[in-house]
Amino acid sequence: MSDTRTRRVAGATDSQQGDHPSGDNRFDLVDKHLKRARYEQDQLIETLHVAQDVFGYLSEDILIYVARALRLPPSMVYGVATFYHLFTFDPPGDHSCTVCTGTACFVKGADDIVQAVSDTYSVPAGETSEDGSLTLKTARCLGSCGLAPVVVFDGNVLGHQDTESTLELVAGAVGGGG
Amino acid sequence: MRDTRPTVNISFDGVDYEGYVGESVLECARRNGVTIPSLCFLEGLSVWGGCRICVVEVAEGHRLRPACATQVTPDMEIKIETPRLRAYRKSVLELLFAEGNHVCAVCVSNGKCELQDMAVFSGMDHVRYDYQAPRREVDASHPKYVFDPNRCILCTRCVRVCDEIEGAHVWDISYRGEHAELITEMNRPWGDSLSCTWCGKCVAVCPTGSLAYEGRSIGEMEHDPVMIKRLAVARSRGEWLDPEGAI
Ligand code: SF4
Ligand code: SF4
Ligand code: FES
Ligand code: FES
């Protein structure tokens, strides 16, 4: 079992490292929430939300940190965290490509887009490529059906996409592909 | 010890009995020597109500209720042996068998398994559902015990006994639905657990061959779930010896 006092959370940049005993100042934000919540055990889910917002995902170190802070058994924290689909346990890639597979987008070939990106960058939908450069996700109707098929790349919503334009987009940010 | 709790009149399959206020239908049946099959329930632990093997029909509207999680009420008419309930129990068991990988012929608990007993009791002779054949890895990292999730029915007896009686809370359930699986601590090998005291209570209470002592071969694993009741009685009433014992 790892120890939060000596290990750093993967992905912490130099500017995030500092005075916090964990060596990662992002924990200050989690601490702030914990204090406001008076370290109440029923604040577990809220605390996990805050931690995910801060870190982008919940690593084992973060879960252990929360378990310690709320004085809860680690298995219970892990059980609660994995029960909810909202939490993710893998670090997101440097870039993210979300393809809408709602009805309107699906009819207009969203699946081909997913397949193309997945094949080109060897990343299954819902996962991150091995080199950590790209996370490929699918979503249910993003509410912009008029623009179908819709792709969200690094937070930008792009309408009327096709396989070619999406691959171009990804290649522009991530590079080559293949 | 004489029970001073107020009583209510109830009936099981048309026969009248006396129940205590606050008592569950299952407890009441057991006390009166009436059989209601159960799996996740274990005397001495909190009620989980998850397996639904213990369902009974309660007269008004023939509502299905888990006997372990339903309290007796005045004039309650409870049905246990109806065609509908028998069929229902069978389905629940078949689902349990289809969901994991229960290969009794090679199981440490073969012949000494509560799930198997329940199947025999209910006359379950085949499974009508598709076997899910999940891929689950055995955890043999603990020096004294083995956990085989293929045989786990998620009754949570181990979770409850470890939390409520031993006070270690090593176990819990991760994920949900068909992906639900038991974990120890932060989903690490059991042998790496810092909180496990090696007390063996989880192994004692497991109704299947999922938790067993290291080194047991086929049919060699004997569980001792009643140990928890003895312990609970001992602690709550200060009766450390079997009250019905000779000495
Ligand atoms: S051996 Fe005891 S402490 Fe360890 S997991 Fe089982 S019940 Fe918990
Ligand atoms: S390991 Fe045994 S006691 Fe624990 S949940 Fe599974 S079947 Fe129940
Ligand atoms: S289906 Fe894609 S935005 Fe509605
Ligand atoms: S014994 Fe009642 S639900 Fe399992």
Instruction: Kindly state the average pLDDT of the residues B96-113.
Output: 94
Please say whether the beta carbons of A54 and A85 come within 8 A.
Answer: no
**Residue numbers in B near A75 (CB within 8 A):** 169-172, 183-187
> Which domains are present in chain A?
3-83 (no CATH), 95-174 (3.40.30.10)
Of A1, A64, A76, the CB nearest to B169: A76
Query: Counting every residue, how long is chain B?
Result: 247
What pLDDT was estimated at residue A1?
42
pLDDT in tens, chain A (178 residues): 444 443 445 555 555 666 788 788 899 999 999 999 999 999 999 999 999 989 989 999 999 999 999 999 999 999 999 999 889 898 889 999 999 999 999 999 999 999 999 999 999 998 899 999 999 999 888 899 999 999 999 989 999 999 999 999 999 999 875 4
Please say whether the beta carbons of B223 and B207 come within 8 A.
Answer: yes
What pLDDT was estimated at residue B164?
96
Q: Distance between CA atoms of B75 and B59, rounded to whole angstroms?
A: 10
- β-sheet bridge partners, residue A17: none
Edge to edge, the sheet with strand A156-158 lists: A134-139, A95-100, A151-153, A156-158
Query: CA quadruple B241, B242, B244, B246: dihedral positive or negative?
Result: negative
pLDDT of B24-42, one tens digit each?
Answer: 999 999 999 999 999 999 9
- β-sheet bridge partners, residue A113: none
What pLDDT was estimated at residue A4?
40
User: Does residue B237 have a pLDDT over 90?
Assistant: no
Q: How far is B137 from chain A (nearest CA, A)?
A: 18
How high does pLDDT run on average in chain B? Answer: 93
Written as six digits, the tokens of B41 are 């329930």
- Put simply, the chain A residues between 43 and 62 with a CB less than 8 A from any chain B CB are 60
More confident residue, A3 or B178: B178
CATH architecture assigned to B103-237: 2-Layer Sandwich (3.30)
B115-118 long-range contacts (CB < 8 A, ≥24 apart) are: B115/B39, B115/B153, B115/B207, B115/B208, B118/B37, B118/B39, B118/B53, B118/B93
What pLDDT was estimated at residue A15?
55
Determine the distance separating the centroid of ligand 3 and the alpha carbon of A105, expressed in angstroms. Answer: 5
What pLDDT was estimated at residue A140?
86
Pocket probe for ligand 4: among B43, B65, B68, B208, the residue whose CB has the most ligand atoms within 8 Å is B68
Task: Give domain limits for chain B.
Answer: 7-81, 103-237
- β-sheet bridge partners, residue B238: none
The atom of ligand 3 lying closest to the CA of A106 is: 1
Take atom 8 of ligand 2 and give the residue whose Cα is closest. Answer: B155
Third-level CATH fold of B7-81: Ubiquitin-like (UB roll) (3.10.20)
What pLDDT was estimated at residue B241?
81
User: Best mutation site among B185, B192, B194, B195 for testing chain A: the one with the most A CBs within 10 Å?
Assistant: B185
- β-sheet bridge partners, residue B24: B71
Ligand 2 within 6 A of CB of B153: yes
User: Taking CB atoms and an 8 Å cut-off, how many pairs form between chains A and B?
Assistant: 46
Instruction: Kindly state the average pLDDT of the residues B133-156.
Output: 96
User: Does residue B240 have a pLDDT over 90?
Assistant: no
Q: How confident is the model at residue B55 (pLDDT cuts 50, 70, 90)?
A: very high
Please report the ipTM that was assigned to this predicted complex: 0.87
More confident residue, B243 or B211: B211
How many helices (H) and strands (E) would you count in chain B? 6, 9
DSSP E strand stretches across B108-165: 145-147
What pLDDT was estimated at residue B107?
94
Q: Distance between CA atoms of A158 and B97, rounded to whole angstroms?
A: 48
DSSP E strand stretches across B111-226: 145-147, 171-174, 181-184, 211-213
Of A63, A64, A75, the CB nearest to B172: A75
DSSP annotation of B244 reads T
What pLDDT was estimated at residue A12?
58
What pLDDT was estimated at residue A90?
86
B22-25 long-range contacts (CB < 8 A, ≥24 apart) are: B22/B71, B23/B71, B23/B72, B24/B67, B24/B68, B24/B69, B24/B70, B24/B71, B24/B72, B25/B56, B25/B65, B25/B67, B25/B68, B25/B70, B25/B71, B25/B72, B25/B76, B25/B78
Please say whether the beta carbons of B90 and B61 come within 8 A.
Answer: no
